[in-house]
Each structure stands twice: as C-alpha cells, then as structure tokens.
Structure 1
Amino acid sequence: MSPELEIFRRSPTGKPKCKTPIIFVHGAFTGAWCWNEHFLAWFADQGFETISFSLRGHGGSGGRQLRSLASIDDYVEDLETVVETLGQKPILIGHSMGGYIIQKYLEKHSAAAAVLMASVPPEGLMASNAMMAMAQPDLYLQMFWLQAIGPHTLLRERLGRAMLSADIAEDEGMIYFGRLETESHRALMDMAGTNPVFLSPTDVPPMLVMGARNDEIIQSELVHRTAQRYGADYLLLDDIAHAMMLDAKWEKAAQGIVQWLEANVVEKSQRSAKKSAA
C-alpha cells in the first residue's frame, strides 16, 4: 500500500486544449517541486490539466523513514495510485528516473502518450555510468558522494554544472541544488540492472524521447538508442543541461513537448471527437 503522496494539480487556464491530463514524474534525488517551478503552471496556461506528485520518501510524501528500501516497483505503485484518481488514461511525462518508472508502468498499463526526458534507458544505468566514469571521472565520483552525503556545498560546482547550464543564476541554481535529497539505494540498484525494462515496442503509446545534446548524466547516444528501441519520435535540444525543466532554457523543452502533443495527441483526439459527433 502506498504511503500518503504529495500531489499538486493545476486546471487549464482559459479554454482547455485537451481533455487528457498530464502527470509529471520526477527523477532521482528530487520531488514534485522540480515540476512546480515552471512546468506545472506553464502547461496549464497552454490548456492542459496538470498533475505532479512526489514519490514515496520524497518531497512532502510519506515513507521518508523507509526511502532507502523503496524499489522501482514501489515507485510504479505510486504512479498507479495517482492515475487511479483520474478515471482515464493520462499523458505521462517523466524525467531521468521518472522516465524509467514510466517505462516500467507501461509494461502492464497503457497511457494516452508518453514523453521521456533525459530518461534512464530501458537497460538501466550501466552504460551511462560507464561512459561517465571514463569521460568525466570527477562527475562520476561526485554522483557517488551525492548519494552518500546529500547535496553538500563541496559538490555544487561540478555536479551543478552537469545538472544546470552555466548561464542560470548562481543563487537560483544553489537553491535548486540545496533541495536535492539522497535516493533509495534499492531503486538505484534496480536501475543498475536488477530490474530492467521489458516493454515491447508494440505496447508503447505515442512516445517522444527527448534529451540534451551535451548531457553528461544521460548521454545523447543513449537517448537516441531508447528512441530507436521503441520506434519513438526523437528530439535533441542544444544549450540545455540534464535538469531541463529547471534550466535557464526550460521553456525550450516545454515548447518542444507541447508541439509534439498538439500533433500527436490533441489533433488526433479532436479528429476522433468529430468522427464520433458525425
């Protein structure tokens, strides 16, 4: 049974563009707050019902004392709990670990559409960690220390540059960095290969896989490989770092998602509604 979850909702401002709600799934070390800074209200302003929530042990959700024992399957259960409140299939948007959770969710469930942002690939973190260890050993070490001691100021400069672009305001970036939390050891082990994704491309809903060209955490090669595996649409952004929903050019990512949703979800649902009316 899921602990009580922190859930945020925003209704569309003005005329709704789409009847299908969006659920945002955050990544490791964060909480619903990462979506609430920009995306939740911005997508509502574009005419979407938006929902963000904190996984168990994160943000304001319950289960903090047992966070280190939470598995990816537990996080999928949290997502199931939120979906059940809607009474319909949602659009799922997940970042990093959140993208992995969505892939695991889709093994047994369907969705109106899915967007994977800088997502952990279906095979897990083995390849990305190996690439990081070889190309950026200092960053690899700091990711280890983030999990071991949390967002210590000594980690801010190097790890901060991997999370956010250099042009984001220093004080703003420090605030974001200071809100990071340690992640569940079990969930990280699951993504290291103990709980891989078994999702067939034939079971994938309309999907957009997007990444950052110079992402040092989830490298663009792996993003492209994920898109190929699922036969999904692929979008690679320039001048933005891994935490693209918080970066200085977050709106560039948001606009890319909305443009894709308009073409692949909104227009299709409108055509279907017209056929039903006729």
Structure 2
Amino acid sequence: MTSPTPVLFIHGLWLHSTSWQPWIDLFDSEGHPASAPGWPGDPDTVQEARENPESIAGHGIDDVVEHYAAIIRGMETPPILIGHSFGGLIAQKLLGQDLAAAVVAIDAAQIKGVLPLPLSALRSTLPVFTNPANKHRAVSLTAEQFRFAFGNAIPEEESDALYARWTIPAPGKPLFEAAAANFNPHSPAKVDTANSGRGPLLLMSGGKDHTVPEAVTLATLKQYRHSEAVTEFLSFPDRGHSLTIDGGWREVADAALSWLRRQGQGTSR
C-alpha cells in the first residue's frame, strides 16, 4: 500500500482559501490529506479579510512563493499542488523548484514569456490598473466586475451568490509584477519551464474564461516545450474563471483526480 500524497490547494486573487473546501473534502475522501493554506496576511475567514484589507496588501509573487515553500519544507513528502489563477502561477514556480510531486494549474495567470494579452484579460484586471497606487493596496471587485472576470459563463444569480460567499480584497502587487514580466529579466513571474526532472504538470483552461483566456494557457504550454517532463493540457470549452467554485466544480476536480492517478499520484486503498 502506497502512502497517500498530500495535496495543497493554492487560491488566486479575490477568492478566500476556504473556497477550496469542497475540493478538500473530495480529495480527503480519496485518501489524499488535503489543505488550503491562505496567502501571507490572509485572515482566517472571508469576513475578516473584508474587514482587514491592509493585512492582505503589499504581498508580491516572491512573498507568496516563499510562504508556500516554507509550508512544503515542513512536510514529510513533497505535495501535489493544485492552484487556480495566480495560485496556478505560484504552483508552477514551486514545481520548477522541485518542491512539488505534481501540479494541476487551473486557469493559471500568465508566466514570464507568455505574450498574448487578450482584451478581456485587460478588462478583468482594470480595477487594479486604473490607479498605480494599487500596487501597494488590496483591491476589491464589485459584483458586476466579478461577473465579468469570474462568472460570465454561469447564471447571474449564481455569480452573485459566489461573489457574496467567497470574494475578498486582493493585493495589487502580483498583477503589476505579471504585467511587467516580459520587460524584467529578473521578474518574479519567471518559471523554470526547462526543468526536465520536475514532476508532471497539467494545465487546465476554461474556454470562456475572460480573466485567463485559453490563448494564454496554450501560450503557457508552449513555454514548456524544452522540458522532457510530462506537461499536458485540458480544456473545458464552456467554462469561465469560476470553474473551481461554481456548480460544475466537481467535473474539474474529477478530471484532476483522474489525471493524477494516471501520473501515479493516486492512492492504493
């Protein structure tokens, strides 16, 4: 009987870590000890995060990567990482540093080297970029902004319910860092995509995603062309950026579990 590989879930901007709870319950039931530690400065609850945005502000990509790296170094075995949006970028950085057994990156934010910048992605992040001072602040979305960025592929009522339940302010700094990545040789958004000794990587994409359109994920896949490690792509054509938290989350989670089993990361129970 093989020991189960632990799973760490990494959230992206504007969602609290507790939004992963259904995934945690599923992976636990499948034999994977699962958890979803928040980003540095994240309060324990959605309400506390909304009341204390200053605790969230100012954390950049390197801060978040080191935060999770420290958690991983305290574990007995390298975990599987499942990240959404900026969490997917963070997970890829950790995989490139050989700190993960495998990674599932869902609608992952663009890494250094990815050139497509669709108009919908610009509009999704406009609430941050309208003010340069937001680099040092935590910024909230309105329900309407969330609907465009996350909930465009689901009914408006569901989008509004997800907004009310899970959204928190997000630090602006990672978005500014990612936007400048291709102009900065030392960008924190740089990932070691040539590492052939790393664990397997699955890039998932929602075909209707406004925030991370599929063109971005396909361009990310191309960045790994010099690595001999397993790198695969899976599309959900009718899904948007909310695919990890909306009513269709189980389809995405089951696909991740199935892929992990094929990579030898399942459990024998």
- TM-score scaled to structure 1, two decimals? 0.76
What is the identity percentage for the equivalent residue pairs of Structure 1 and Structure 2? 23
Output the CA distance in 1 between the equivalents of 2:189 and 2:121: 25
- Give the letter aligned to residue 255 of structure 2: G
Aligned equivalents of 1:254 and 1:197: distance in 2? 27
Structure whose CA Rg is larger: 1
SS of the counterpart of 1:266? coil
Structure 1 pair 30/125, CA: closer, same or farther in 2 (3 Å)? farther
Residue range with higher mean Cα deviation, 220-229 or 176-185: 176-185
1:144 CA drift (Å):
4.9
Query: Does residue 255 of structure 2 align to residue 256 of structure 1?
Result: yes
Change (3 A) 1:230 1:203: farther
Over 3 Å counting, the alpha-carbon distance change for 1:18 and 1:182 in structure 2 is same
Higher RCO (CA < 8 A, seq sep 6+): 2
How far apart, CA to CA, are the structure 1 residues paired with 2:28 and 2:108? Answer: 23
Q: Which residue of 2 aligns with 1:177?
A: 163
Query: 2-side partners of 1:124 and 1:174: how far apart?
Result: 34
Once residues 3 and 250 of structure 2 are traced to their aligned partners in structure 1, the CA distance between those partners, rounded to angstroms, is 20
Report the more deviating stretch, 248-257 or 184-193. 184-193
Alpha-carbon distance between aligned partners in 2 of 1:88 and 1:169, rounded to the nearest angstrom? 42
Cα distance in 2 between the residues matched to 1:118 and 1:136: 12
Instruction: List per-residue Cα deviations over 1:98-124 (Å, max 9, x = no partner).
Output: 011122223433321111100012227
| Length, aligned pairs only | 245
Q: Equivalent residue for 2:219?
A: 225
Provide closer, same or farther for how the CA distance between residues 99 and 137 of structure 1 changes in structure 2, counting only shifts above 3 A.
closer
Which moves more between the two structures, 221-230 or 161-170? 161-170
The yes-or-no answer on 1:111 pairing with 2:97 is: no
Counterpart of 2:14? Answer: 29
Mapping for residues 74-85 of structure 1, pairs under 5 Å: 74-85=63-74
Whole-angstrom distance in 1 between the partners of 2:122 and 2:81: 33
Q: Which of 31, 34, 39 is the matching residue for 2:23? A: 39
Aligned AA for 1:91?
A: I
| Length-normalised TM-score, structure 2 | 0.78
* Structure 2 unmatched runs, 5+: 182-186, 226-230
Residues 64-143 of structure 1: pairs in structure 2 closer than 5 A:
65-123=54-112, 127-128=116-117, 131-132=118-119, 139=124, 141-142=126-127
> Would the aligned equivalents of 1:114 and 1:207 in 2 still touch at CA under 8 Å?
yes
